[in-house]
Amino acid sequence: MDIQDAEGETVVTIKKALITPLRDRWIVEVPDGPEMNVQSNILNHEYRIEAGRKKVAEISKNGFG
The mean pLDDT value of the chain amounts to 86
Reply yes or no on whether the pLDDT at 37 is more than 90.
yes
Residues 17-46, mean pLDDT to the nearest whole number: 84
Helix (H) or strand (E) holding 56: strand 54-60
1/15 Cα distance (integer angstroms): 6
Q: What is the pTM of this model?
A: 0.70
